[in-house]
């Protein structure tokens, strides 16, 4: 009997030692790691990992080189959840910007982050989609209805509002963050 107890204690100690040495990566971590290692991003998109050991929470920066938002630097928090790739990552703009597809709280309206998400899509798809929102804002599927209406009906006023907002100015009594490159 004493031999059996000693063996069980040793097995428990070995089990504890093994888990302390290395924790298993989740499916979401493995897929995110693969997506990140395979990324081939244009110079207008960069990623920053505040905690290098946490690849599921990071910042993406978009610096459009064309269109209404040229000259701006736009930052997004990206949170990859435990159900990734079966659920899309959560993406939120950290600045208050004037954009038809981004509301004043930073929520992003991009179909692949909602109903069009499929597990075959990757983080690369998300970043290219975000960049496309700045190159070709979509007034047909807005979160900021006023900005969408301006873009649809008054493109020159929209362009003026974008420039003013990017400098940290006001548009219709709403103050925006300065997002221009220094």
Q: How far is residue 112 from each of residues 39, 48, 70, 74, 126, measured CA to CA in Å?
A: 18, 22, 24, 19, 7
Q: Is 109 a catalytic residue?
A: yes
Lookup: tokens for 158: 């929209």
Q: 28-175: CATH homologous superfamily?
A: Ubiquitin Conjugating Enzyme (3.10.110.10)
pLDDT digits (tens, 9 = 90+) for 52-73: 899 999 999 999 999 999 999 9
What ranges do the domains of the chain cover?
A: 28-175
Percentage of the chain with pLDDT > 90? 84
Best CA proximity match to 50, nearest among 60, 37, 62: 60
Kindly tell me if the per-residue pLDDT of 110 is higher than 70: yes
pLDDT at 174: 96
Query: Choosing from 60, 109, 130, 148, which is the catalytic residue?
Result: 109
The token duo for 119 is 């597990």
Query: For 10-61, what is each residue's pLDDT tens digit?
Result: 544 454 444 444 578 899 999 999 999 999 999 999 999 999 899 999 999 9
pTM of the model: 0.85
For tokens 């207008």, the residue is 44
């Amino acid at each position: 009997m004493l031999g059996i107890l000693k063996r069980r204690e040793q097995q428990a100690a070995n089990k504890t030692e093994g888990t302390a040495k290395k924790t298993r990566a989740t499916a979401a971590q493995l897929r995110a790691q693969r997506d990140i290692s395979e990324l081939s991003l244009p110079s207008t998109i960069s990623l920053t990992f505040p905690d290098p050991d946490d690849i599921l929470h990071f910042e993406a920066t978009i610096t459009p080189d064309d269109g209404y938002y040229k000259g701006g630097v736009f930052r997004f928090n990206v949170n990859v959840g435990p159900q990734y790739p079966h659920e899309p990552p959560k993406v939120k703009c950290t600045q208050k910007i004037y954009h038809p597809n981004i509301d004043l709280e930073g929520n992003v309206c991009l179909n692949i982050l909602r109903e069009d998400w499929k597990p075959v899509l990757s983080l690369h798809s998300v970043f290219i989609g975000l960049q496309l929102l700045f190159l070709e804002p979509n007034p047909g599927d807005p979160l900021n209805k006023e900005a969408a209406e301006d873009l649809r009906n008054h493109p020159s006023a929209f362009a003026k509002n974008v420039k003013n907002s990017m400098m940290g100015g006001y548009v219709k009594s709403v103050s925006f963050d300065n997002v221009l490159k220094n």
